[in-house]
Structures are given as C-alpha cells and as structure tokens.
Amino acid sequence: MCATCGFIDYRNPKIVAGAVVAHEGRVLLCRRAIEPRSGYWTLPAGFLEVHETPEEGAKREVLEEATARIELEGLIGIYTVKRLSQVQMFFRARFAAGPDFAAGEETTEAAMFAWEDIPWDDLAFPSVTWTLQKWHEGEDGMKELGRFSTSV
C-alpha cells in the first residue's frame, strides 16, 4: 500500500497453462524463440489472458506455439513456483485432427519425441521435466490434487 495516497497495488501470482500433446507414444515439444531460455525445448504453455480458463489457455498456447488444435484429456499437475510467483497447470492432450503442427511465432522448431529421445539436458524449465515424468507415469492430477501439487 502506498504510504502517501493509500492506493493498494495488488500483485497476484501469474497463472501458466500448458499441455503434453501426445500421439502414438510421442510428445510435442517446442524450441523457444524468446527469452527466457531461448533455444531450449519446452512444452507449449504460457500465461493466461484475462477472462480465460486454464483449459482455454492451454489450447490457445498450443495453437500459438505449435499451430496445433488439441483436445484436453485431464489435468496432469499443478506446480507452484513461489520464487516466480507462478502457478503452472499442465493438461494431457491429443491432436484434434491428427498430428498437424508447425513452429509458431514464439517457436523456432516443433517436433514429436519418443520418451527415450526427449532432449532432457536441453529442456527449458524444471516444470517441463516434472510434467513429462508425471505424463509418462500415467498419473492423473485429478485423482488427489494435493498429491501432485508441488511448491518450489
């Protein structure tokens, strides 16, 4: 609160939504064209817009970053990144009409990876690793939400 005028400046966490888009055992990753972590691989994800649900945000981000239309299949996990004041939500997804994708504006490259071919050392963020591991284990964040919510 401003000591002079009493104005309250609300600073709320940013909400991030994204998806693990899978097809025939492979997952869609995007090479970032923007900072932070330009040049590293990530899941398509980004900040929610005003009046947007996390599900709508995840679909929009996949469309923007990988030009793909998707259907969501459930929540994988929610991660709280306290030091960044972010809450990140990732969903399981599939292509709405086959594996049709390409690099979007914030992406230099989009590709499908088999589990053993994921470039683990070149992933942009820890939450990408956590989400891919939960996806691979087949665990569903809707079963016991608290169990899959991680605060870092």
pLDDT tens per residue, range 54-97: 999 999 999 999 999 999 999 999 999 999 999 999 999 999 99
Q: Is 84 helix (H, G, I), strand (E, B) or coil?
A: helix
* Residue 77 one-letter amino acid: G
pLDDT at position 151: 52
pLDDT at 80: 95
Is residue 103 over pLDDT 90? yes
pLDDT surpasses 50 at 149: no
- Domains of the chain (ranges; CATH) run 14-151 (3.90.79.10)
C-alpha dist (Å) from residue 38 to 34, 109, 125: 5, 11, 11
**Which of 16, 11, 53, 34 has the alpha carbon at shortest distance from 103?**
34
Q: What mean pLDDT value characterizes the chain?
A: 92
User: Confidence class of residue 109 from pLDDT cuts 50, 70 and 90?
Assistant: very high
Amino acid at 141: G
145 pLDDT more than 60: no
Dihedral (Cα; 148, 61, 34, 129), 10-degree rounding: 20
